[in-house]
Structure 1
Amino acid sequence: MTELDAIKPKLTVLLCAPRGFCAGVDRAIQIVELALEKYGPPVYVRHEIVHNKFVVEGLRAKGAVFVEELDEIPAGDRPVIFSAHGVPKSVPADATARQMFFLDATCPLVSKVHKEAMIHHKRGREIILIGHAGHPEVIGTMGQLPDGVVKLIETEDDARNFQPDTPDNLAWITQTTLSVDDTSSIVAILRERFPDIVAPHKDDICYATTNRQEAVKAVAERAEAMIVVGAPNSSNSQRLREVAERAGCPHSVLVQRAADIDWSCFPDISTLAVTAGASAPEVLVEEIIEAFAARYDVTVETVRTAEETIAFNLPRELRSTAAE
């Protein structure tokens, strides 16, 4: 131990587990990487494949080209990939009309919500979607059906004030990356107002979102501060930050990577919790811990609240490449 190490203040890092990549994110990134390997660059990706700048820049360096709309893609036979968040039905229809070869990286758990919406519509139910306006997943889910069919509710006040056309024939679905507690409160209001409202057969909030929030709750009261590694436009990462504060952590911040840490926010702490949103790679978590280790005598304690073994199948076109 050097003299410098001897004078460093001690810091216990409570490392949440599970954290970071979920199966849907891992699958989406694999789809881009395997498409690059099989077809060569460029491969076009509509919207960020996942909400993480580090991941996107890494794929861009390998030859992925990110666009917001299909009309930005030059004519030709280059593969086009739809992001993990899902897309409205009009997007694959447009791609087909343009004779594009496309691969769909939509998370299967998002696709499940799309199917639920279509089943409810087929059965004549009025559909409520609990989610955040403007989020790509919400745009994609609402876009599975004609305009105006799916009604968006964002808050408890929205739930209290919502006036359905058919109060006795309602169903609700949700964005997969919401706060479990916030969503429960909204659903409770809807159920009180509309006792016959139809719920999903299985929760729409995905296993990874739920597990990461539970891990944060397990450490929040023990930590003087919490760092959530993730992007500002990542819904599940923002929810982790909010969950930490509500669960008793005095100070919770969202950080993309170590260079973004505002050290003035972490004066004289002895316990720090660290987690990562579902689209944040583990290398960024390690980078954060190393940055603290340069200033503190760090002891890492992993706090695990669940085991995750879920994996999703790749598109058929890429399975042989993955097996090589």
Structure 2
Amino acid sequence: MNRQVHPDTRADGTYARDQRYLATRITADGRDGYHVEPGRYRLVAARACPWANRAIIVRRLLGLEPVLSMGLCGPVHDERSWTFDLDPDGLDPVLRIPRLRDAYLARDPAYERDITVPAIVDVPTGAVVTNDFRQMTLDLSTEWTAHHRPGAPDLCPHEHRDEIDELNEVVFREVNNGVYRAGRASTQRAYEGAFRVLFDRLDALSDRLARQRFLLGGTITEADVRLFTTLVRFDAVYHDHFKVNRSTLTAMPVLWAYARDLFQTPGFGDTVDLEQAKAHYYRTQPELNPSGIVPVGPADPGWTTPHHREQLGGRPFGDGTPPGPPPPSTEALSAR
């Protein structure tokens, strides 16, 4: 049988994500050549993408909207690049480019790797500074502190940093990327191995969250942001598209209640568009869905129904406060 195989799939059928990113950091001291400066940079994201969704959430929780603008790509792209097709003229209104690829080439005219979101672009030069989504949100929390809103939560508390880093690595390997390792596998053995690892980890996380409201205790941290963006897409996309169908999220009571708790927390659910997520996965991965047909369902399983997680105690924002409503701009979008 002639079948398409994703270029990041190894000879043994396992999926290995290309993690060679532009790792330049934007820091308070500018040690990589880029100082934190209000208005200088633009976050380019897409609501369809779970990795970009992390950056959108963290930016909103920390109240960085006034100092870090955001451009949004549409959910469907071609083999060359994410595009700004949501903007009326097909151009990002700040960068004045039709494709994110243009900003990557402004950084490196010989750039040959994937054009990925999220990316932070230096507006004066039009060049991508970084697309390292792993470090990006940590730096927004720890390097941009002078510009956090009053009441912003501490998403990376120093006393828990080692535990957060360790948990983030496990969740990335076995859940965030775990759904891809199952869905992108090209042999039965590789798929089943990734499937088992994924659900073993989800079961372990369920046990952990049965005892405490959030992953690190009673308040939200970076670790919760990273887990949420996979869970919120699980039933709408991954369960069928990536064949991770042992059970739906809604059939895992603890994780389903935890995901609803976060969804209903300002800064989480109001950044999500599951219709865009479905369009992205089902229309841009022809090796998995040759027809390009986007499923109509599933119906809303009840994201805004009571979750009762408050019975475990804790305060989502600790000593801080929730962010206000999304700004009344093209960035704002009702959650679906």
TM-score (norm 2): 0.29
- Which structure dedicates a bigger proportion of its chain to strand? 1
Tell me: higher relative CO, structure 1 or 2? Use CA pairs within 8 A at least 6 residues apart.
1
TM-score (norm 1): 0.29
Larger Rg: 1
